[in-house]
Amino acid sequence: MSFALAFQPPMPDPRAMNDIADVARPAETVGAAPVADGARQKSVDVLRGVALLGILVMNIPVFALPDYYSEPFRSDPRNINFWFRLVINTLFEGKARALFGMLFGVGVLLFIANKEKAGKSVHWLFYRRTFLLVLFGLFQAHVMLWVGEILYCYGVCGMIVYLFRRVNPRILVLAVPLVGLIDFGLGVRQYQVFREQRIAYVAASEAKSHGDILSDVQTKALADWRVVETTLIPNREDVQENTRQIKSGYAGAASYVRPRAWLFETKYLPLWLPDSVALMLLGMGLFKMGFFSGTWSVRAYRRVMLVGYGLGLPLVGYAFYDSLVRFPNHEAFLKVLETVPILWADLIYPFQRMLLVMAHAAALILVYRAGALAWLTRRLAAVGQMALTNYLMHTVFCTLIFFGYGLNLYGELQFYQLYFVVAAIWAFQLVTSPWWLARFRFGPFEWLWRALTYSVRPPMRRAG
């Protein structure tokens, strides 16, 4: 991600200024009223729409397929699923969430900008707003049953990054590699914990197989690893049981999702925070520098693309190949866990991800700036403007399609077939989002979020 630091903030390109919203416009954005259409950061809406749709690409296998689903095809180039996975891992894996996180940081600045200029105290409003996001996340995880929801984590991270809202953008961007190293260190520490538990479990299992009387330490080692298996690293029998639960109905799916979601919201939350905080800080810094507003020169954006794709694609290609060699199946992963103290190749991930997501963002901004594919970018902007509603709708669609209380297609489709479902959901949201916003001022959940934040009921319908 350090390549972005090499760029001096470029002078704004006058040709782009007509497309840039003035965040200092006073009246329209203060209070519970929506941001006026002419004052929206359209480039940010477009990017948020792309990130939102891209997140579904990565989430749908978790909704639809059991653990270790890729083993039959992950090393077989003759299988169409291999190529789908290659393209998705290269272009989307980690990138969509990274872009979404960066734009969340942008949203922090956009939320507070005009309120502070109008003399409003924004602290209470902001923390109330982010606390509501935490509640939305809990609802999505424990009622809507999405184990991979991100709103809870983003709400917690938002409360942290708000404290850095006035920090110099260069410092914000420079802080990202430091936070990234902290994130890597936390990941290594957690890997070491799992490794120690696995080694102790193997030793205890061997002693048990020989008929030895187990000590209290050995008995605890068996129990500790069993907890890991039932929550994060299931064995083959657990995978079958998890599939049965998800396909059995709402109660069964809830018994699978809720304990795992709670672990991510409590015990493992510190592992999520540094990465998400770093992305939000980077988004805030780049927005202050004008990157997301589209005010950099065409040459600067092209340079970001050249560096990002030029370095990022070889790195992600090597990482993909390395994963095929080292982790062809679950048993190989366990063997690596037992024998390799640190997975240094994991350091590639944050760099290739940020190189590629910056390149993606620069390319999308240039497309928007040029007015190309205007019919599509308008629809993407509408999807981004209704990001909360559309994100929650992903859970509604996917649980009803794949879980036992819906169509019960969990584990029934091949990997590549999932992306016909993705395409259908994309098409639906690209059509319905602009249709809805032509008639209403907010998406349904955006209206609810705003109403609860300001303790008012803002008008929903557009005049006329």
Give residue-wise pLDDT tens across range 198-227: 999 999 999 999 988 999 999 999 999 999
Return d(Cα 283, Cα 102) in angstroms, integer: 4
Cα–Cα distances in angstroms (integers) from residue 448 to residues 157, 192, 208, 443, 460, in the given order: 21, 43, 57, 9, 10
- HEC string of 283-294 equals HHHHHHCCCCCC
In 67-219, which ranges are E strands?
none
Give residue-wise pLDDT tens across range 184-196: 888 889 999 999 9
Cα–Cα distances in angstroms (integers) from residue 283 to residues 4, 109, 172, 365, in the given order: 12, 10, 9, 15
Residue 25 has pLDDT above 50, yes or no: no
Q: Nearest-CA neighbor of 407 among 175, 247, 267? A: 247
The residue among 272 and 397 whose pLDDT is bigger is: 397
Confidence at residue 378, expressed as pLDDT on a 0 to 100 scale: 96
Q: How confident is the model at residue 34 (pLDDT cuts 50, 70, 90)?
A: low
**Burial of 213 from C-beta contacts in 10 A (0-12 / 13-18 / 19+):** exposed
Give residue-wise pLDDT tens across range 100-146: 999 999 999 999 886 765 556 788 999 999 999 999 999 999 999 99
Contact by Cβ (8 Å): 390, 429: yes
Give residue-wise pLDDT tens across range 375-392: 999 999 999 999 999 999
Q: How confident is the model at residue 176 (pLDDT cuts 50, 70, 90)?
A: confident
Return d(Cα 55, Cα 96) in angstroms, integer: 5
Please state the rounded mean pLDDT for residues 363-372: 95
Helix ranges (DSSP H) in 232-297: 236-247, 250-265, 269-288
Considering the chain, what is the average pLDDT of its residues?
89
Residue in the block written with tokens 């270790």: 68
The tokens of 287 are what?
């927005």
Q: How confident is the model at residue 37 (pLDDT cuts 50, 70, 90)?
A: low
Q: How confident is the model at residue 432 (pLDDT cuts 50, 70, 90)?
A: very high
Q: How many residues does the chain have?
A: 464
Residue 1 has pLDDT above 50, yes or no: no
Confidence at residue 7, expressed as pLDDT on a 0 to 100 scale: 37
Confidence at residue 390, expressed as pLDDT on a 0 to 100 scale: 98
Q: How confident is the model at residue 3 (pLDDT cuts 50, 70, 90)?
A: very low
Residue in the block written with tokens 């866990």: 337
Confidence at residue 288, expressed as pLDDT on a 0 to 100 scale: 95
